[in-house]
């Protein structure tokens, strides 16, 4: 009986505070300084596939869907001078997990995204295979309404994840027969 009351109160709070909306593509685009990349990557990366995201149920919680994340990833790569419609290097992104809180004042969301970059001209050789984990916290100061605060945390974590990927790509040194990360 007590659980039913708690659920009823939570449902009323959700109803009164509005509907959940998914992470917005434009808010996940990394717009920071342009990194330096190996010349082989410049204008030569194509986003082949983004999967693992979830659609937002307006009656429940904000999520990051595949289309929004793919759009943010493409825009970020474009701003860095890496995106190509049919590049030699194919990038896949798999949203493995999006850790979200259910309640709280500060919402910390952590995205776990596996990125695989392959070389189409070298029989699909794997150039990069990394799982990037990126947290972001949205506070009550960012948004008083919890549903919006969760969306902002999702977007911030998505953007931080893309930024970490770009940093990893900037560390790649591609030479004929020799692909490595600078350490």
Domain count, the chain: 1
Asked, for residue 12, whether it belongs to a domain, the answer is: no
CB-based contacts of 7, cutoff 8 Å, min separation 6: none
Q: List, for residues 115-164, the tens digit of each pLDDT value.
A: 999 999 988 899 999 999 999 888 777 677 767 787 889 999 999 999 99
CATH number, domain of 36, equals: 3.30.160.150
Tell me whether residue 70 is in a domain: yes
Residue 1: inside a domain: no
> Is the residue at 13 inside a domain?
no
Q: For residue 40, tell me if it sits in a domain.
A: yes
**3 assigned to some structural domain:** no
Pairing of strands 107-119, 125-138: antiparallel
In a domain, 35, yes or no: yes
Q: With pLDDT > 70 as the criterion, what percentage of the chain qualifies?
A: 76
């Amino acid at each position: 009986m007590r659980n039913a009351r708690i659920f009823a109160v939570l449902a009323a709070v959700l109803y009164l505070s509005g509907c959940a909306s998914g992470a917005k593509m434009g808010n996940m685009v990394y717009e920071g300084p342009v990194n330096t990349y190996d010349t082989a990557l410049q204008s030569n990366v194509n986003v082949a596939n983004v999967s693992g995201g979830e659609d937002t149920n307006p009656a429940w919680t904000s999520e990051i869907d595949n289309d929004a994340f793919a759009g943010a990833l493409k825009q970020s790569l474009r701003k860095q001078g890496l995106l190509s419609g049919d590049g030699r290097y194919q990038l896949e992104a798999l949203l493995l997990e999006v850790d979200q809180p259910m309640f709280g004042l500060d919402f910390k969301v952590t995205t776990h995204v596996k990125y695989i970059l392959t070389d189409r001209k070298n029989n699909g050789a794997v150039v990069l295979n990394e799982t990037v984990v990126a947290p972001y916290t949205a506070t009550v100061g960012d948004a008083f309404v919890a549903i919006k605060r969760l969306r902002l945390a999702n977007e911030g974590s998505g953007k931080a994840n893309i930024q970490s990927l770009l940093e990893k790509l900037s560390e790649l040194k591609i030479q004929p027969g020799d692909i490595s990360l600078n350490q």
